[in-house]
Structure 1
């Protein structure tokens, strides 16, 4: 995407600013940055902001490769769980899913960095719920939630109308 951007707008100055979606959204709204790619929040954006959808990815259960079982609800009930930070937009989706399924997993750790979550699952710490694109990790097992349980996180690009 950055290569295409560079080809289409060679004079554009690009700076990548990492951060959690909520903070990036606030920076766009304040005019500190021009646009942000964020997880779609569970609230309506202010009238000054414009958004476009980029990607919709299903959540899956990520498990250590040697962990037995294919029932995602049973694994969430029985195995230690790495929780996606409940204050983040993606973490709120996970919290909503857990409430709907009446699950209270044994929390091993709570963190907002998906790559770190998957890495910890790789090292057999626990199971986690993460976006499907995380399949690239060779040392974890992906357990689909199934058609009736699948929920999604949406990535959007946000900018000011002005």
Structure 2
């Protein structure tokens, strides 16, 4: 039995469709369908039923999937153990989107130079999605926000960057009072289901500011671009990204100090990929130091 087929089986389950699983691994949907059919023939059971464009595991499929997760993880650990002492292997990284569009490209550039034989698989998601995926064993390391709860002792955390809340405004308004801007200008709200959006909402309530809300978005880069276009102002974590460096926006400090948003890396202490994780951590620290040296 090909372990790659089992890995793709789990991808079909997690994404809900063979087409999406095929897109993520870079093959055709027909190739994934053939792999699933091969597994069904070898196991002698039907694994899925179709419901429109999605697939739903059968009862037998659920039993196979439960065991397959352990088998795929065990095989990956076996491979890592076989390569112990060599800077090779596969490292599965989960990341929040803002890190992917800001710090992570520099981190990965450093890592590729230091570990040219390593393979990276990168998945984007919210911090909570990444925690859950890490706990299931489907990720080796997550680059995400620090959780609101204490991490279990089996996990390590390393802070990469702190981002205080700032008022994002068109450059022409750079010398105005940030609270006055929040009260007067159209307000582009950062999604309140996300950590930074919740923090911004708490600040507005504490400062007794009721903004004239224009719309609510879950993408910080898109918010920065809309502020650049003069659509309004926003209250967001102070991110640094090459994608925003050319924008004509001002980042105004708040008159009342707030707890910064913290993001970093979290991983299992007993991970068989500890050497690659430590290498990624060192590359991340180098990228952060270079960013600070540039005054970002």
User: Which bin holds the TM-score, normalised by the shorter protein?
Assistant: 0.7 to 0.9
Once residues 237 and 145 of structure 2 are traced to their aligned partners in structure 1, the CA distance between those partners, rounded to angstroms, is 11
1:145 partnered with 2:145:
no
Alignment partner, residue 105 of structure 1: 211
CA distance in 2, matches of 1:61, 1:117: 12
Which residue in 2 is equivalent to 1:131?
A: 237
Q: What is the 5 A alignment of 1:38-117? A: 38-67=144-173, 70-117=176-223
Q: Provide the rounded CA distance (Å) in 2 between the counterparts of 1:111 and 1:43.
A: 26
Unpaired stretches in structure 2, ≥5 consecutive residues: 1-106, 271-296
Which runs of structure 1 show a deviation greater than 4 angstroms over 4 or more consecutive aligned residues?
A: none
Partner of 1:161: 269
Q: Which residue is 2:91 aligned to?
A: none
Asked whether the 8 Å contact 1:64–1:139 carries over to 2, the reply is: yes
Corresponding residue pairs, total: 161
Which moves more between the two structures, 39-48 or 50-59?
39-48
Q: Which has the higher strand share?
A: 1
2-structure distance, mates of 1:149, 1:128: 17
The answer on whether the counterparts of 2:174 and 2:252 sit within 8 Å (CA) in structure 1 is no
Q: CA deviation at 1:47?
A: 4.1
The range that moved more, 79-88 or 89-98, is 89-98
Q: Which has the higher helix share?
A: 2
Quote how far apart the aligned CAs of 1:68 are.
Answer: 7.4
Question: 1:76·1:103 contact (CA, 8 Å) conserved in 2?
Answer: yes
Whether contact under 8 Å (1:59, 1:130) holds in the other structure is yes
Tell me the SS of whatever aligns to 1:76: helix
Task: Show structure 1 runs of 5+ residues with no match.
Answer: none
2:143 and 2:264 in contact (8 A); partners too: yes
The Cα of 1:20 is off from its aligned counterpart by 1.9
Distance 1:128-1:18 versus aligned 2 partners, 3 A rule: same
Q: CA deviation at 1:96?
A: 2.1
CA RMSD of aligned residues (A): 2.1
25 and 100 in structure 1: CA distance in 2 versus 1, 3 angstrom threshold: same
**Counterparts in 2 of 1:79 and 1:69: CA distance versus 1, 3 Å:** farther
Report the TM-score when normalising by structure 1.
Answer: 0.86
1:150 Cα shift? 4.2
TM-score by length of 2: 0.50
1:49 touches 1:161 (CA, 8 Å); kept in 2? yes
